[in-house]
Amino acid sequence: MEGQGGDDVEKRRGGVGNGAIRRKRDPLWHCLTTGLGVNVGGYIQAVLDRNLAENISRVLYPNDNFFEGKELRLKQEYFVVAATLQDIIRRFKSSKFGSRDPVRTSYDAFPEKVAIQLNDTHPSLAIPELMRILVDIEKLDWDKAWDITTRTCAYTNHTVLPEALERWPVHLFETLLPRHLEIIYEINQRFLDKVYAKFPGDLDRLRRMSLVEEGSVKRINMAHLCIVGSHAVNGVARIHSEILKATIFKDFYEFEPHKFQNKTNGITPRRWLVLCNPGLAEIIAERIGEDYISDLDQLKKLLNFVEDEAFIRDVAKVKQENKLKFAAYLEKEYKVKINPNSLFDLQVKRIHEYKRQLLNCLHVITLYNRIKREPNKHFVPRTVMIGGKAAPGYHMAKMIIKLITSIGDIVNNDPVVGDRLKMIFLENYRVSLAEKIIPAADLSEQISTAGTEASGTGNMKFMLNGALTIGTMDGANVEMAEEAGEENLFIFGMRVEDVEELDRKGYCAKDYYDHIPELKQVMDQLSSGFFSPKQPDLFKDIVNMLMYHDRFKVFADYEAYIKCQEKVSLLYKNTKEWTKKVIRNIAASGKFSSDRTITEYAREIWGVEPSRQKLAAPDDPRE
Ligand SMILES: *Cc1c(COP(=O)(O)O)cnc(C)c1O
């Protein structure tokens, strides 16, 4: 039977489970290896059942920051939660606190021994599922079960974009998870009673804080469920955590301020330096030793080398080598030739309106127009690369990719431009491509509308790899500027307060279009089909959005962005001064180690101290 049926499927998926154990539990295997095998009906049903069961995990919903209320997705979320909780309960029962007999298991120690960190609301069903297990199966009374549940669970929020927040229709719960719905209603009733006791008569507050939203379709607000069912709630960068308390979770903060925390995201220096950029890791180790790899704050010691000519030369040389290597990769794999002496300007991240790849596009077109206007004027050569996936159902994101490649078609083939400006779309952006491109970047684009990017982690990877950041005061950019000194980043544009002010005043894109001649020229080119000669109205949806319903206020930051990019080009001409800023950035990037992040979660949310276990040896960076 080897190589037949299930084994084959398992291999194609790269499954590594214990075959014998897997087969024993597989009804199809059972059919084929027992007397039941003669029952042809049972065999057919077993195949059908297996297909049904496996359909649960067949597809990963591809959206980024977007909630799609599909039944299969809710089934997936429950499936993963149910399996995880059964594993947790089984392990707890086999510990010294447990017993197969529910009444002899003491759950008093459960919150001390188990921590469930809800990474976004996607596993929020863990809260009613744990309540169901403790109350219905383990026969604990409600109050005891609720105390255990809230002390065990904690919730991390990842976005404030309203279209991304999970609000599941009640009718899906009624058919799929009726008992969980009953439990959620009970949680809500008891919660709202307490809110009412603290704010008597404030019925509007009750409506705002309810886990159940009334409307044309009744929905469960899963973020509200997470906050109520957790002892800690955190955002993923300081500014984001403050925005949570001031806006979407304001009522909850006023009710239980002690729950609210911040845990600024981080990245692992093993993958994002040692593994992907060994040249840089090596010249750093030559100066400060290699202990920094497991204690990234030690990068601060590099401040002693900011004026060290040999170190400056080494840092610039490693960057140039990484750029040559990436240029060779692009030429070999994609037949694209780029100028390795140009400024490598990178924006790689999921395609989303809030991340404002369109602002980057407007800049590239502006540079193109400037070259065409004064072709003999000196121009600092740039290769602008944009990479990222669009969710298949997100029309505007796909149009943004189409625009990037269309600008490339015109700009890259214009003999007047030559190799002074290129626009490249990097296909199939993923971790393995990130590991190649980030070490080769000079400039990191982190240009979301202030208040929309919860943290960002791409920004941190670029900083650690010696790229300078052009960015708004958003997400972790704020803390990067604080660590490195604002003068060592290219910070531009509206702050959160400015965006709020503009919202009160009313954002009018047309005003910017009318008053900024270069912006008008760019938009007129997009409208007239300059970048899509075969289909002049191709970009009408983009133009219409930018002009009349741009939630992310691209034009409001256009002028500041263009001016800031001029400063970037000016500094880039001076390799030594540029490289000094690079060194100051690397030296200040220690805060953004995920070691720091995880230590904070452990101490401040899970109530545990980090173990004394030694971290990976430097020659085994992926361990
Ligand atoms: C780090 C990373 C991201 C996150 O990038 P942001 O700029 O923070 O959105 C996305 N995709 C890949 C492949 C990454 O490595």
**What mean pLDDT do residues 329-350 have?**
96
Classify residue 587: in a domain, yes or no: yes
Same domain, 374 and 230: no
Amino acid 47: pLDDT: 87
Evaluate: CB of 520 within 6 angstroms of ligand 1.
Answer: no
State the SS3 of 426-463.
ECCCCHHHHHHHHHHCCEEEECCCCCCCCCCCHHHHHH
Closest ligand 1 atom to residue 388 Cα is 11
* 3-class SS letters over 421-434: EEEEEECCCCHHHH
A 10 A CB-CB count for 45 gives 14
Closest C-alpha residue for ligand 1 atom 11: 349
CB of 349 closer than 6 angstroms to any ligand 1 atom:
yes
- Mean pLDDT check: name the lowest of 96-105, 206-215, 613-622: 613-622
In this structure, is residue 161 part of a structural domain? yes
- Look at residue 1 in the predicted model and tell me its pLDDT: 25
Q: Are residues 356 and 453 in the same domain?
A: yes
Residue 545 is assigned to a structural domain of this protein: no
d(CA 130, CA 82): 9
User: Could you read off the pLDDT of 424-440 as tens digits, one per residue?
Assistant: 999 999 999 999 999 99
- Per the domain annotation, does 261 fall within a domain? yes
77 vs 71: CA distance, rounded Å = 10
Of 12, 31, 59, the position where a domain reaches its end is 59
Q: Is the pLDDT of residue 622 over 70?
A: no
Check residue 5 and give its pLDDT: 31
Quick: pLDDT tens for 225-255. Answer: 999 999 999 999 999 999 999 999 999 999 9
| C-alpha span between 514 and 521 (Å, rounded) | 10
Does ligand 1 lie within 6 Å of residue 179's CB atom? no
Domain match, 400 and 254 both: no
Please determine, for residue 13, whether its predicted confidence score (pLDDT) is greater than 60.
no
The two tokens of residue 561 are 């962005």
For residues 208-217, give the mean pLDDT.
98
What was the pLDDT predicted at 457? Answer: 98
Please state the φ and ψ torsions of residue 375, each to the nearest 5 degrees. Answer: -65, -20
Phi, psi of 134 (to 5 degrees): -70, -40
**Predicted confidence (pLDDT) per residue in 486-522, tens digit:** 999 999 999 999 999 999 999 999 999 999 999 999 9
Q: Is the CB of residue 458 below 6 angstroms from any atom belonging to ligand 1?
A: yes
Distance from the alpha carbon of residue 458 to the mean position of ligand 1, in angstroms: 5
pLDDT (mean) for 159-180: 98
pLDDT at residue 39, as a whole number: 59
Average pLDDT over all residues of the chain: 93
Ligand 1 contacts CB of residue 439 (under 6 A): no
**342 domain residue, yes or no:** yes
Pocket test residue of 349, 350, 463 for ligand 1, highest count of atoms within 8 A of CB: 349
Protein residue whose Cα sits closest to atom 14 of ligand 1: 431
Residues 136-164 have a mean pLDDT of 98
Domain limits for position 182: 66-265+601-606
On whether both 232 and 286 belong to a single domain, the answer is no
Mean pLDDT for the stretch of residues 445-468: 98
| Percent of the chain as helix, strand, coil, to the nearest 5 | 60, 10, 30
Residues 142 and 210 in one domain: yes
What are the beta bridge partners of residue 168? 220
Predicted local confidence at residue 340, as pLDDT: 98
Name the band, by pLDDT with cuts 50, 70 and 90, for residue 12: very low
Give yes or no: residues 354 and 257 share one domain: no
At 17 the pLDDT is 43
Whole-number percent of the chain with pLDDT over 90: 87
User: Mind giving me the DSSP string for 595-619?
Assistant: HHHHHHHIIIII--PPP-PPPPPTT
Cα(542)–Cα(400) distance, rounded to whole angstroms?
A: 8
Same domain, 71 and 22: no
The model's pLDDT over 551-586, given as tens digits with 9 standing for 90+, comes to 999 999 999 999 999 999 999 999 999 999 999 999
Q: Does the residue 544 lie in any domain?
A: no
What is residue 227's predicted lDDT score, i.e. its pLDDT? 99
The Cα 379–Cα 573 span in angstroms is 10
Residue nearest to atom 9 of ligand 1 (CA): 349
In this structure, the answer to whether residues 292 and 259 fall within a common structural domain is no
Is the pLDDT at 7 greater than 70, yes or no? no
For residue 241, count other CB atoms closer than 10 A to its CB.
22
From 21, 43, 59, give the residue that closes a domain. 59
In a domain, 541, yes or no: no
Judge if 152 and 186 occupy the same domain: yes
pLDDT, position 425: 98
Is 352 a pocket residue for ligand 1 (Cβ < 6 Å)?
A: no
pLDDT of residue 91 exceeding 60, the answer is: yes
Q: Percent of the chain, pLDDT > 70?
A: 91
Q: Which residue has the higher pLDDT, 170 or 609?
A: 170
Among 147, 212, 151, CA closest to 184: 212
Whether 600 and 487 have beta carbons less than 8 Å apart is answered as: no
Q: What does the pLDDT read at residue 105?
A: 85
Specify the residue with its C-alpha closest to ligand 1, atom 8.
Answer: 456
Confidence of residue 35 (pLDDT cuts 50, 70, 90): low
Cβ atoms of 281 and 273 closer than 8 Å:
yes
- How many structural domains does the chain have? 3
The residue type found at 153 is C
pTM: 0.92
Pocket test for ligand 1, best of 159, 457, 594 (most atoms within 8 A of CB): 457
Which atom belonging to ligand 1 lies closest to the Cα atom of 429?
Answer: 13
- In testing the pocket of ligand 1, which one of 64, 276, 348 has its CB within 8 Å of the most ligand atoms? 348
Residue 104 alpha carbon to ligand 1 centre in Å: 47
Q: Mean pLDDT lowest for which of 97-101, 405-409, 505-509, 611-615?
A: 611-615
CATH number at residue 366: 3.40.50.2000
Gyration radius from the chain CA atoms: 28
Q: 100: pLDDT confidence band, cut at 50, 70 and 90?
A: confident
Q: Are 352 and 440 within one domain?
A: yes
102, 161: one domain:
yes
Atom of ligand 1 nearest to the CA of 434: 15
Whole-angstrom Cα distance, residue 336 to residue 343? 16
Q: How far is CA 389 from the centre of its chain?
A: 13
Cite the active site residues.
158, 349-350, 355, 457, 461
> Is residue 502 classed exposed, middle or buried when 0-12, 13-18 and 19+ CB atoms within 10 A define those classes?
middle
Cα(293)–Cα(590) distance, rounded to whole angstroms? 10
| Same domain, yes or no: 33 and 77 | no
User: Which pLDDT score is estimated for 4?
Assistant: 29
Nearest-angstrom CA–CA distance, 155 and 187: 17
Does residue 623 belong to any structural domain of this protein? no
CA 284 – ligand 1 centroid, Å = 25
